[in-house]
Chains A and B, each alone.
Chain A
Amino acid sequence: MSWDAEFSHYFDRCADSMRFTAFLLCGNHHEAEDVVQSAFLKFYLAGPKLAQREGVPAYLRQIVVRTFLAERRRVRWKREKLTDTLPDLPEAGVLSEDRLVVWQALDAVPAKQRATLVLRYWHDLGVEETAAALGCSVGTVKSNTNRGLKALRQRLGPEFGALWQEVSRGA
Chain B
Amino acid sequence: MLEDELKKTFEQLNIEPRPSTFNAVDIVFRGTAVKRRRRTYAVAATGTGTAVVAVVIAFALNQPPKQGDHSPAGPPGPDVSTSSPMRPSRTTSPEQPTSLPVETPAMTTTNTTSPIPTTTTNSVDPGPQNSTTATDLPRTTTSPSR
A binds B: yes
Q: Is B31 at the interface (CB under 8 A from chain A)? A: yes
In the assembly, what is the distance between CA of A132 and CA of B8, in Å?
A: 25
Decide: A122 and B7 in contact? CB cutoff 8 A. Answer: yes
Chain B contact residues, majority secondary structure: helix
Cβ distance B17 to chain A, nearest Cβ, rounded Å: 6
When the two chains form their complex, are residues A7 and B18 in contact, meaning their CB atoms are under 8 A apart?
Answer: no
**CB neighbours of A122 from chain B (8 A):** 7, 10
Q: Is B81 an interface residue (CB 8 A)?
A: no
**Total of A-B residue pairs, C-beta within 8 Å:** 80
Interface string of A98-109 (1 = CB under 8 A from B): 110011000000
Closest to A3 in B: B28
Interface residues contributed by chain B, number (CB under 8 Å): 28
Partner of B2, one of A12, A16, A153: A153
CB-based contact B27/A117 at 8 Å: no
CB proximity of B11 to chain A, nearest CB, Å: 8
Question: CB of B122 within 8 A of chain A?
Answer: no
B18-65 contacts to A, CB under 8 A, are: 18, 20-28, 30-31, 34-35
A20 touches B17 (CB 8 A): yes
A16, B22: Cβ atoms closer than 8 Å: no
Which chain A residue has the least Cβ–Cβ distance from B30? A41
Residue A45, interface by CB 8 Å: yes
Judging by beta carbons under 8 Å apart, are B10 and A91 in contact?
Answer: no
Given A96-B12, A99-B8, A149-B3, 12 extra CB contacts under 8 A: A4-B28, A11-B23, A15-B24, A19-B20, A23-B13, A24-B10, A33-B22, A44-B27, A98-B5, A99-B9, A117-B6, A152-B2
